[in-house]
Structure 1
Amino acid sequence: MKKTIAIRVIVGVVVLLFVVSAWMQDGKPDWSALKLFSTAVLLCTVIFNLWDFLLWRLPLVQRIPGVGVARSVRGTWKGTLTSFWTNPETGSSPPPKTVYLVVQQTASLVSVKLMTDESKSTSALAKVSEVDGSVLLTYMYLNKPDLRVEHRSRIHHGSTVFDVSGNPARRLKGHYWTDRDSKGELDFVERDKKNLADDFAEAAELFEEAG
């Protein structure tokens, strides 16, 4: 949505400039300038997309103060999920497990996917923001368990808040809460910036190759 609005603003500005220039030739209309209209719109669109998909996350741009770009956390992260849920039958909590977080991010949009060996969570709303000097990754999600574990783990909604450490980002640490009255901690310290895994197995292979 933000990307669409931004493109419309750019196009609107280009149109306005050409219309004004057309009436600035000795006070009479001169529509020859409009021949460059399509080229100008294309150029603006290319520049915007370069910024939205690439330029904003370059290390140099990320470090420039006052630019107003979000911290780049894009990539596949490997970390640990620690659940605080207590099994009523045993009185104990499940052991920590390895999980993977995939963040797709442009200058204007963020989407998050958390994958475990039993389920996948996909964000409905997500953003990277700065609050009181701290950089946060926050999102709401829908979790869908694998069919084989649905008998003990139903579909649910939840939310997650991460503190982002470092520039470039080197750690995501935070908490999650669900509508099943469960909560826990998440800690990610390994990151593959280039690859965005589609599932748990692919993510595991990424870090096995890196290791």
Structure 2
Amino acid sequence: MKNITIKSFIYVLVGISAVAWITLAYLGGLDLSKIKDFLGLIPKIVTIDLFLIGIFVRWGWKLRCFRGWLVPFPNLNGTWAGSIYSHWKHPKTGERPAPIPVMLTINQSFFHISCVMHTGEMKSYSYSEGFMIDSDRQMKQLAYSYSSKPRLSVSERSIPHDGTGVFQIIEKPNLKLVGRYWTERLTTGEIVLNFYSKDILDEIPNSLGEHPITEPENRR
């Protein structure tokens, strides 16, 4: 995953280092035209740079002021809620199910992102994730491969499987993820998610509704 715009990062780092060099020299009464004074500040400058980089990696990258020109990807941390529009057909009726309530939780740091999807019948965990960002091509996507673990009560018609999902990241006018998925069970579908909460929830909210396929006796 390309985490940073290299050219902008170099400019910022050089600028910060230059300001730190001049400031420390002024406060210490040093003459930067002298090699000894100039080189003597290097350990302190490196320490300041590493400290600021640490703050940026831990918290700073989330600030909107860095978005785009320095950090290419958005902050997607939190809980997303919406619906799955599955192309799967019920073996008994041959009909597609009604929209399935779904929740996606995203835990993102500067170097890593993980995605967990919940429905009333399954939970899936990502194991390979990445952003596809290209402003010139107007491409802004999140893609990940996942392993799905359905509930044991539905194991006869829904077995564990792997799959892949690709989401278009929509930031304007409203924050939204719109994507598609496909699985090794040869099922496909579309997913529409809206941002729900900054908190990462452990369970899909009842307010989203019940799974349209689950039999009443198998509901939690």
Common fold: TM-score over 0.5: yes
Change (3 A) 1:149 1:169: same
1:181 to 161, 183, 186: 186
> How many Å apart are 1:149 and its aligned residue?
1.5
Structure 1 residues 157 and 112: alpha-carbon distance in aligned structure 2, compared to 1, 3 A threshold: same
Counterparts of 1:206 and 1:53, CA distance in 2 = 34
Q: Does the 8 A contact of 2:61 with 2:71 survive in 1?
A: no
Q: CA deviation at 1:190?
A: 3.2
Give the residue type in structure 2 aligned to 1:50.
I
Residue 66 of structure 1, CA deviation:
2.5
Q: CA deviation at 1:168?
A: 8.9
1:107 aligns with 2:107: no
**Cα pair 1:59 1:168 within 8 Å, conserved:** no
Specify whether residues 107 and 154 from structure 1 end up closer, same or farther in structure 2 by C-alpha distance, changes over 3 A only. same
User: SS of 2:153's equivalent?
Assistant: helix
Q: Which runs of 5+ in 2 are unaligned?
A: 4-34, 209-220
1:196 aligned onto 2:168: no
Q: How far apart are residue 151 of structure 1 and its match?
A: 2.2
For 2:154 and 2:51, locate their aligned partners in 1 and report how far apart those are by CA, in whole Å.
Answer: 46
**Which of 92, 95, 100 pairs up with 1:97?**
100
The residue matched to 2:61 in structure 1 has which SS? helix
Note the aligned Cα RMSD (angstroms).
Answer: 3.1
Query: For 1:69-148, what aligned pairs fall within 5 Å after superposition?
Result: 69-131=72-134, 132-148=137-153
The one-letter code of the counterpart of 2:88 is: W
What is the alpha-carbon distance in structure 2 between the residues aligned to residue 169 and residue 61 of structure 1? 20
What is the number of residues matched between the two proteins?
175
Alpha-carbon deviation of 1:40?
Answer: 5.9
For the structure 1 residues 81 and 70, does the alpha-carbon distance in structure 2 shift closer, same or farther, using more than 3 Å as the test? Answer: same
Give unpaired runs (5+ residues) of structure 1: 4-23, 27-31
Runs of 4+ off more than 2 Å? 43-50
Structure 2 CA distance for aligned equivalents of residues 174 and 121 of structure 1: 16
| Aligned-pair CA distance for 1:78 | 0.7
Q: How far did 1:95 drift?
A: 1.3
The aligned amino acid for 1:199 is: E
Q: 1:2 to 1:176 in 2, by over 3 A?
A: closer
Residue-by-residue CA offset, 1:84-131 (whole Å, 9 max, x unaligned): 011232110111111101111112211111111111111011112214
C-alpha separation in 1, matches of 2:100 and 2:88? 13
Q: 1:102 and 1:95 mapped to 2: Cα distance?
A: 22
